[in-house]
């Protein structure tokens, strides 16, 4: 089975349904998924198109055994795979005895897509096998009726050329008198010519004969085959004929259309049965360059670039076997060695209805279309991944906020005890997880950016130790930073991500030994540069370089040359960050001499900002009342604790509606700390109430990604943005400092 597989999931755990759906769509794009939660919905769900059922063994109101009984009653033959986290051996055996085709644990979902396709194909094969005997029996009954309805005509004669039987639509329409000639000599049948008699006499010698004859206005292409007796002698002759009048008309029109083909703007190439070019129209020269006579005799595959020739040869094989092949894309080589993208349609050239003499190929230049489609696919890919990443970041950052917050509280409570080291490990793990979320959002260009004016030299020096550790003991890392460089505006974490990904990429290219050079200088002025110029960061390695055919793909998401190692996100993250800060990136593949990545980041004229230490002690704001608004219970609890720990008075509510009720009841707050997680109408009502208060409380908006902060509408003046997850220092700074510009989103 090669088409879409429609998969039904029976599982009452929404998280498991999401995991199963994500795994299947990532493993096999041809699997469509829908899901139900209760056994009571199964009968109705099976009434809709479905190729396979995935059933969790343990449901709230049933087990997979109940589901198997329903399937046996409603859809016998539908394959069922039991999916469960833990299952006893007796339960697994009972599942198979009840009709389950396979069992997959939730810890081994990597084999799920293969198991589904295997069972669906096996079910198809079982269905075909069951129907085969019935079809064979029916065919015996139908064969006589089919013979009488065959297109064209057929007939049989004995050794004396006496007519035995015949049929076919042409015989019934054009030669109705033959039906009464059983036992008569063929020579006496109406419409029989001397050439037909001669062909029959040749066939009596044991050789099949093909010929054409006319019946009224129709042209019949016929063949006579000898039927041998057990002793090897010819006992009868069987004749078969097809109406080829339309084919002959097409041949006539082909001659007339020759001038039209020559006038076409699209190249037309005709090849013989060996695949060698026999005819081309003038458009071939306009698109590919060579004159028509230079292409005669050239195999079709030689016109196309290496790697695409096999695709063309495969399509040509189908065309030469009688199939029409549409929309085959390949890159052809022009005479100047440049490439042009072509979309080819291939059709067999058939003579006399059955003989394939070659193929006709119509090519269309689709270079411009492909370029636009590539841009669109990339944009759609990034948008889809961005939506997924933002959703993951929202939930994960809420969890990380709770972990970091409680770890911070415990560190202070347990100061001076042995347990504080364990709490530090928790805090460090949460920090690493936070960095991973940041990398995911950087890749999708949806992370929350808090750009600052950064001394690039200081930033590179700060990350050098981490770069050396990432490179490994066998790699020599040389970092050269020119003095007196201007500052750049960037989130400091992004500099770490840029250099770390490039150094790791260089390390993987070289293996255990080699040299990586990181050079940071002021770039020469170029059109479009900022007034302060640009900073140029060059990362060069001593590896084997990157082949030219891969240079244009290295920045694609999930593209990797490391086989089973790596996810292929490193360089795409680098490209995403560079694009966000308005810079450019260039790659010199340097085949055999190492790869060189050159980043140009716009400089600014402002002085660098002082570095903030999140763990630094901060003074409390005496008497400050803060209203915390967040739908997540853990987030509300930990943020309220953190607020109170640094000296504020905190009140926590789950949504904007509850916050609005407090304000309308006369409660007074200095700061509203909110993620604005409510309906748009309730959120707007809260913001309007805030603006109307005198004095109006300041607003601090919490969010996990720039996507979450987009579309919030008009916020009160002075609103500050706080990215989740945050620490005590970030929280206090957000509550006391004046508003920053709105957070940036990826362009």
The DSSP result for 468-505, as a single string, is HHHH-TTEEEEEEE-SSPPEEEE-HHHHHHHHHHHHHH
Give the strand pairing for 5-10 and 31-36: parallel
Neighbour count for residue 208 (Cβ, 10 Å): 13
Question: Is 80 exceeded by the pLDDT of residue 694?
Answer: no
Terminal Cα-to-Cα distance of the chain (whole angstroms): 42
Dist. CA 167–CA 240, nearest whole Å: 10
The pLDDT, as a whole number, for residue 608 is 76
The topology (CATH level 3) of 378-415+616-747 is Rossmann fold (3.40.50)
Give the strand pairing for 31-36 and 52-56: unpaired
Chain centroid to Cα 281, Å, comes to: 38
Q: Which two tokens stand for residue 425?
A: 């490990």
* Three-state SS at 72: helix
Dist. CA 538–CA 593, nearest whole Å: 15
Q: Angle at the Cα of 102 (from 97 to 107), degrees rounded to 5?
A: 125
Q: Which two tokens stand for residue 152?
A: 């064209």
Dist. CA 206–CA 162, nearest whole Å: 17
* Three-state SS at 699: strand
Interval 708-718 mean pLDDT? 62
The pLDDT, as a whole number, for residue 415 is 82
What's 713's DSSP letter? -
Residue 669 vs residues 252, 634, 675: alpha-carbon distances, Å: 91, 22, 16
Q: Which two tokens stand for residue 685?
A: 């009502």
Q: Which of 136-150, 386-400, 653-667 has the lowest mean pLDDT?
A: 136-150
What's 747's DSSP letter? -
Residue 566 vs residues 178, 280, 563, 569: alpha-carbon distances, Å: 76, 48, 8, 8
Alpha helices in 546-701 (DSSP H): 548-551, 570-580, 633-645, 656-664, 680-692
Confidence of residue 745 (pLDDT cuts 50, 70, 90): very low
The pLDDT, as a whole number, for residue 564 is 42
Q: What is the pLDDT of residues 647-673, one digit of tens each?
A: 899 999 998 889 989 988 888 898 999
Tell me the sheet residues that pair with 220: 213, 243
Listed by start position, the domains of the chain span: 5-127, 150-243, 247-365, 378-415+616-747, 456-604
Q: What is the pLDDT of residues 25-81, one digit of tens each?
A: 888 888 889 999 899 998 999 999 999 999 998 888 888 899 989 999 988 889 999
Interval 393-403 mean pLDDT? 82
The topology (CATH level 3) of 247-365 is Beta-Lactamase (3.30.450)
Q: Which two tokens stand for residue 132?
A: 């085969």
At residue 360, what are phi and psi to the nearest 5 degrees?
A: -110, 135
Question: Is 80 exceeded by the pLDDT of residue 547?
Answer: no
91-123 per-residue burial string, b: 16 or more CB within 10 A, e: under 16:
bbebbeebbbbbbbebeebeebbebbbebbeeb
The pLDDT, as a whole number, for residue 619 is 42
Question: Is 90 exceeded by the pLDDT of residue 260?
Answer: no
Q: Which of 3-17, 165-179, 486-500 has the lowest mean pLDDT?
A: 165-179
Q: Which residue has the higher pLDDT, 201 or 562?
A: 201
In 13-51, at which residue ranges do the beta strands (DSSP E only) sit? Answer: 31-36
Instruction: Select the CATH number that applies to the domain covering 456-604 from these four: 3.90.600.10, 1.10.150.120, 3.30.565.10, 3.30.1490.20.
Output: 3.30.565.10
What's 744's DSSP letter? B
Tell me what percent of the chain is helix, strand and coil, each rounded to the nearest 5: 45, 25, 30
Dist. CA 486–CA 523, nearest whole Å: 11
Q: Angle at the Cα of 317 (from 316 to 319), degrees rounded to 5?
A: 60
Q: Put residue 488 in one of left, alpha, beta given phi > 0 → left and psi -120 to 50 → alpha.
A: beta
Give the strand pairing for 596-604 and 584-588: antiparallel
Q: What is the pLDDT of residues 189-201, one digit of tens each?
A: 777 888 888 999 9
Give the strand pairing for 268-272 and 355-365: antiparallel
Residue 407 vs residues 402, 614, 641: alpha-carbon distances, Å: 8, 14, 12
Residue 346 vs residues 263, 325, 358, 469, 695: alpha-carbon distances, Å: 19, 5, 10, 57, 76
Confidence of residue 614 (pLDDT cuts 50, 70, 90): very low
Q: 674 near 699, Cβ under 8 Å?
A: yes
Confidence of residue 287 (pLDDT cuts 50, 70, 90): confident
Dist. CA 351–CA 48, nearest whole Å: 47
At residue 660, what are phi and psi to the nearest 5 degrees?
A: -60, -40
Dist. CA 565–CA 546, nearest whole Å: 17
Q: Does domain 5-127 have CATH number 3.30.360.10?
A: no
At residue 124, what are phi and psi to the nearest 5 degrees?
A: -60, -40
Q: 256 near 349, Cβ under 8 Å?
A: no
Helices (H) and strands (E) in the chain, counts: 22, 27
The fraction of the chain above a pLDDT of 70, given in percent, is 83
Are domains 378-415+616-747 and 456-604 of this chain identical in fold?
A: no
Domain 150-243: CATH superfamily, name plus number: PAS domain (3.30.450.20)
Alpha helices in 150-244 (DSSP H): 169-174, 194-203
Q: Which two tokens stand for residue 285?
A: 């020269």
Tell me the sheet residues that pair with 9: 35, 54
């Amino acid at each position: 089975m090669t088409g879409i597989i429609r998969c039904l999931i029976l599982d009452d755990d929404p998280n498991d349904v999401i995991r199963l759906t994500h795994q299947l769509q990532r493993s096999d794009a041809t699997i469509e998924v829908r899901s139900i939660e209760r056994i009571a919905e199964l009968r109705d769900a099976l009434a809709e198109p479905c190729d396979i059922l995935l059933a969790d063994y343990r449901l709230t109101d049933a087990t997979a055994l109940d589901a198997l009984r329903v399937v046996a009653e409603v859809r016998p033959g539908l394959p069922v795979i039991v999916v469960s986290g833990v299952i006893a051996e007796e339960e697994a055996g009972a599942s198979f005895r009840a009709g389950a085709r396979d069992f997959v644990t939730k810890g081994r979902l990597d084999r799920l897509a293969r198991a589904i396709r295997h069972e669906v194909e096996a079910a198809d094969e079982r269905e075909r096998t069951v129907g085969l005997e019935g079809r064979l029996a029916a065919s015996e009954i139908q064969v006589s009726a089919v013979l009488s309805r065959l297109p064209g005509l057929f007939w049989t004669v004995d050794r004396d050329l006496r007519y035995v039987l015949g049929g076919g639509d042409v015989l019934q329409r054009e030669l109705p008198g033959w039906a009464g000639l059983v036992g008569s000599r063929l020579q006496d049948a109406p419409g029989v010519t001397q050439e037909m008699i001669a062909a029959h006499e040749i066939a009596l010698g044991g050789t099949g004969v093909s010929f054409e004859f006319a019946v009224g206005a129709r042209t019949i292409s016929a063949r006579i085959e000898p039927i041998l007796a057990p002793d090897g002698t010819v006992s009868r002759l069987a004749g078969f004929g097809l109406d080829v009048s339309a084919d002959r008309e097409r041949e006539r029109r082909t001659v007339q259309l020759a001038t039209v083909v020559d006038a076409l703007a699209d190249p037309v190439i005709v090849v013989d049965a060996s695949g060698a070019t026999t005819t081309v129209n003038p458009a071939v020269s306009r698109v590919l360059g060579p004159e028509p006579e230079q292409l005669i005799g050239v195999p079709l595959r030689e016109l196309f670039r290496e790697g695409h020739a096999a695709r063309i040869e495969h399509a040509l094989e189908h065309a030469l076997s009688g199939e029409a092949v549409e929309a085959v894309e390949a890159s052809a080589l022009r005479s100047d060695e440049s490439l042009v993208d072509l979309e080819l349609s291939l059709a067999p050239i058939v003579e006399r209805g059955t003989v394939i003499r070659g193929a006709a190929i119509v090519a269309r230049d689709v270079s411009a279309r492909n370029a636009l489609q590539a841009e669109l696919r990339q944009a759609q890919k990034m948008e889809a991944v961005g939506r997924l990443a933002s959703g993951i970041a929202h939930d994960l950052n809420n969890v990380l906020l709770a972990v970091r917050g409680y770890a911070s509280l415990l560190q202070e409570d347990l100061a001076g005890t042995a347990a504080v080291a364990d709490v530090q490990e928790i805090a460090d793990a949460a920090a690493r997880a936070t960095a991973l979320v940041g990398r995911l959002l950087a890749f999708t260009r949806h992370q929350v950016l808090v750009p600052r004016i950064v001394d690039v030299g200081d930033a590179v020096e700060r990350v050098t130790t981490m770069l050396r550790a990432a490179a490994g003991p066998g790699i020599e890392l040389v970092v050269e930073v020119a003095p007196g460089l201007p500052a750049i505006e960037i989130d400091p974490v992004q500099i770490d991500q840029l250099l770390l990904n490039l150094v790791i990429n260089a390390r993987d290219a070289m293996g255990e030994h080699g040299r990586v050079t990181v050079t940071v200088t002021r770039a020469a002025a170029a059109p479009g540069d900022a007034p302060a110029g640009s900073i140029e960061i060059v990362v060069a390695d001593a590896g084997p370089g990157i082949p030219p055919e891969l240079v244009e793909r290295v920045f694609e998401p999930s593209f990797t040359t490391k086989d089973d190692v790596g996810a292929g996100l490193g360089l795409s993250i680098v490209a995403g960050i560079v694009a966000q800060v308005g810079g450019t990136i260039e790659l010199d593949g340097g085949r055999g001499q190492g790869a060189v990545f050159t980043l140009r980041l716009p400089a600014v004229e402002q002085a660098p900002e002082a570095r903030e230490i999140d763990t630094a002690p901060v003074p409390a704001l005496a008497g400050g009342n803060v209203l915390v608004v967040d739908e997540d219970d853990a987030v509300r609890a930990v943020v309220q604790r953190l607020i109170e720990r640094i000296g504020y008075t905190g009140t926590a509510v789950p949504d904007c509606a509850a916050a609005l009720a407090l304000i309308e009841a006369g409660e007074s707050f200095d700061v509203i700390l909110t993620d604005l997680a409510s309906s748009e109408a309730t959120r707007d009502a809260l913001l309007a109430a805030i603006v109307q208060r005198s004095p109006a409380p300041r607003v601090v908006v919490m969010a996990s990604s720039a996507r979450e902060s987009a579309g919030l509408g008009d916020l009160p003046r002075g609103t500050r943005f706080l990215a989740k997850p945050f620490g005590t220092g970030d929280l206090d700074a957000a509550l006391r400092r004046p508003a920053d510009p709105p957070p940036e989103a990826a362009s």
